[in-house]
Amino acid sequence: MATTALITDFPELTHSSREDLEDLLNDPTYFQSVFHSLGQVKSLYQAQSELGMANEALARNNISLQERLYQLRSETKDAFDEAKSLETRWKDLERDQREVYQRFTPQFLLLRLRHATTAQDDESEAVASSFVQGPSTTSSSNGKDVDDFVREFKELRKTYHKRVMWGERWASGHVEWRDH
């Protein structure tokens, strides 16, 4: 049974006598020479040799691509680092933009209008007080100081009243803010 399986698996041994087969088992050198002459073994060694050559070709190809791979890796790292830097800069710019836009929100602008209105009222009152407490107007020629005061005070009060009117329109809902 074992002989049949051996002959089925290795048909090259069908012409061998029983003594040859026994010598084959007893002599390792003879076994090696017969073993390496078998077609299946030759095919196996041929396939192994071809795989080895294919592996060597792949290795040479990989080595030839190695420098480019290192270059691409470096470029990728540089691009990633730059992207991270730009991302940080983007966040900073967004924060700065929010701060800038904050100065133009309707609430902030209303606050500025109220402060400007108060400052305008204070300024016009200071000019009036200065005029009243200042030197006598009778010494000026042709009332020039009075004319200058009236002109300046009138401009200051005009601006004040415009700001008051804008504030009142805002309070009554007649001011509409657009975001664009």
pLDDT tens across 66-84, in order?
999 999 999 999 999 999 9
11 pLDDT tier (thresholds 50, 70, 90):
confident
Q: Are the C-beta atoms of 167 and 112 separated by less than 8 Å?
A: no
Higher pLDDT, 13 or 171: 171
**Do 37 and 10 touch, CB atoms closer than 8 A?**
no
Report the pLDDT value the prediction gives residue 14, as an integer from 0 to 100. 77
What is the pLDDT averaged over residues 39-58?
92
Q: Which residue has the higher pLDDT, 22 or 80?
A: 80
Residues whose CB is less than 8 angstroms from the CB of residue 42 and which lie 6 or more positions away in sequence, other chains included = 36
Q: Is the whole-model pTM more than 0.85?
A: no
Counting residues of the chain whose pLDDT is more than 70, the rounded percentage is 90
Q: Which of 29, 44, 40 is nearest to 6 (CA)?
A: 40
In this predicted structure, the answer to whether residue 139 has a pLDDT above a threshold of 60 is: no
What does the alpha-carbon distance between residue 43 and residue 49 come to, in Å, rounded to a whole number? 10
Q: For residues 29 and 52, what is the distance between their CA atoms, to the nearest angstrom?
A: 26
**Arithmetic mean of pLDDT, 22-27:** 86
* Cα(35)–Cα(13) distance, integer angstroms: 10
Query: Identity (one letter) of the amino acid at 83?
Result: A
